[in-house]
A and B are shown apart, each in its own frame.
Chain A
Amino acid sequence: MNLIFNKLLALLIFPLVFFSCGSKDSGNSKLDEEVESITNVDPKEKVRFQRAKIVFFSLPSPMETSRILKKSGAVYNKRILNSPANKNGYQTSKEKAVGLGVFIADLSFANAFDQQQDCLDYFSVVRELSVDLALSNVFTAEFIEKIEANIENEDSVLKYLSESYWQANNDLKEDGRESFAALVAAGAWVEGLHIATSLINVSNPDPEFVNRVGDQKSSLKQLINYMDSFKDPKNLKELITDLEALQLLFDEIQVKHERKEKVVDEKGVATVGSKKTYVFPNDLLKRIVEKSHEIRNKHA
């Protein structure tokens, strides 16, 4: 069993997004500035700097979001996704970065439901946008051929997608375009929320899908913190403003915490953390659903 676990993890493993080694060009972030401050001081001064803790934020990947939606009982519906035909609507680099994140989220959703033709269609769009963003060494023609050869293996597609997503993220940062990496992450997050909220029938909501929306309260806070960490967030300002308006709604969600003792099962897997219950007073769920669609339709 442990071998199976290891095999699955080897397939799905990915490095965390906001750790960035050697990315001296990615000085857009205050966090990087702190790292720079450590590396550029006189050696004698380094001891003094050692105590400064570096803080990073990280978001769940679109691959994770798609998988939990599927596990929550979602049914695949391509009509709620952004059509690959909309690719030409992305003109500026900023729009293309957001669009890349959106289409990667859609691709992840299609992959979670083993929709092979839709996966190929989305990979094609992702490749085109990547080329436009000078990320052509990530989603290469050879990469697409590899996907096509393995399209019937859902795990292989997920592995290639995960590796490429994080590679694209890393390349943008290494290339001094960290704000574009943030736009890709934001686009993926916005599309993930759009998919989750599209699964909700507001007049008779499924509690599982409502919980998945409530789950985004934590990651939205992290997304805004990350985007706010840039010294010159002009590329991000409009999106940050919209996300902050959404956060005001998420702040109205009442969260009840029930502390739970840590439990470790026979395979050594620990179950930790509090149990949460989300309460959406009055028409809050409806307002969040509407706001998420509004933001998605504006930026995607």
Chain B
Amino acid sequence: MNSTTLFEGDSASLRMTFYSLLDYRLLVCAHPILGDKVRFRVSDTDGEELYNSVEGGKDSWDFRVNSTQELIIDVVVPEDPSNANNIPPSGCVTVVLGFRE
């Protein structure tokens, strides 16, 4: 499984090139211990936000790019203020990408 371990409060950033002429589906999933709090946003290299899973309300996003370019996928596991334990939970977070012609 290709994924990484994140603690509550962690964030990871993935810089990736996406080709024009292809349609993509981006999916982020996380171990249940992290609950459904994991969120992600996609932005271009100028910092303009293209998708936000909180506003989009989905853990997947279907898209294509006008021209081949690098996009930045930021994955965040927000802190849980109600967690009194000094040890934050951690779990696997996976970013999965599919394409079609």
A residues contacting B by CB (< 8 A) are 5, 8-10, 12-22, 35, 38-39, 43-44, 46-47, 49-60, 64-65, 67-68, 70-72, 166, 169-170, 211, 214-215, 218-219, 221-222, 225, 260, 262, 267-276
Contacts and interface: CB of A to CB of B under 8 A. Distances in A.
A262 B12 CA distance: 25
Interface of B: 1-23, 25, 27, 44, 50-51, 61-71, 79, 86-88, 92-101
Given A170-B1, A271-B65, A274-B44, A222 B16 contact: yes
The 3 A-B pairs with the shortest beta carbon distances in the complex, nearest first, are A50-B9, A13-B98, A215-B68
A221 B25 CA distance: 23
B62 to A, nearest CB: 5
B19 A68 contact: yes
Given A68-B22, A270-B51, 20 more contacts: A13-B96, A14-B97, A20-B2, A20-B3, A38-B5, A43-B87, A44-B86, A46-B87, A47-B86, A47-B88, A49-B7, A54-B12, A60-B16, A64-B99, A169-B2, A170-B2, A211-B68, A270-B63, A272-B44, A273-B69
A222 B70 contact: yes
Contacts of A57: 14-16
Contact of B66 (A49, A55, A271): A271
B17 A222 contact: yes
Contact of B12 (A53, A215, A221, A260): A53
Contacts of A55: 12-15
Contacts of A267: 62
22 contacts: A8-B98, A20-B2, A21-B2, A43-B87, A44-B86, A47-B9, A50-B8, A53-B12, A55-B14, A55-B15, A56-B4, A57-B14, A57-B16, A64-B19, A68-B21, A71-B22, A222-B16, A222-B70, A260-B66, A262-B50, A274-B44, A275-B67
Nearest to B3: A21
B22 to A, nearest CB: 6
Residues of B contacting A: mostly: strand
A222 B65 CA distance: 18
Nearest to B76: A53
B74 to A, nearest CB: 8
Contact of B4 (A9, A35, A49, A166): A35
Nearest to A63: B99
A67 to B, nearest CB: 5
B73 to A, nearest CB: 9
A50 B19 contact: no
A14 B61 contact: no
B4 A21 contact: yes
Given A12-B99, A55-B12, A273-B69, A17 B2 contact: yes
B77 to A, nearest CB: 9
A53 B7 contact: no
Given A273-B71, A276-B68, A46 B88 contact: yes
B100 A215 contact: no
Nearest to B79: A50
B14 to A, nearest CB: 5
A22 B14 CA distance: 18
Looking at B4, B22, B70, B94, the one whose CB has the most chain A CB atoms below 10 A away is: B4
Contacts of A268: 62
A71 to B, nearest CB: 5
B100 A5 contact: yes
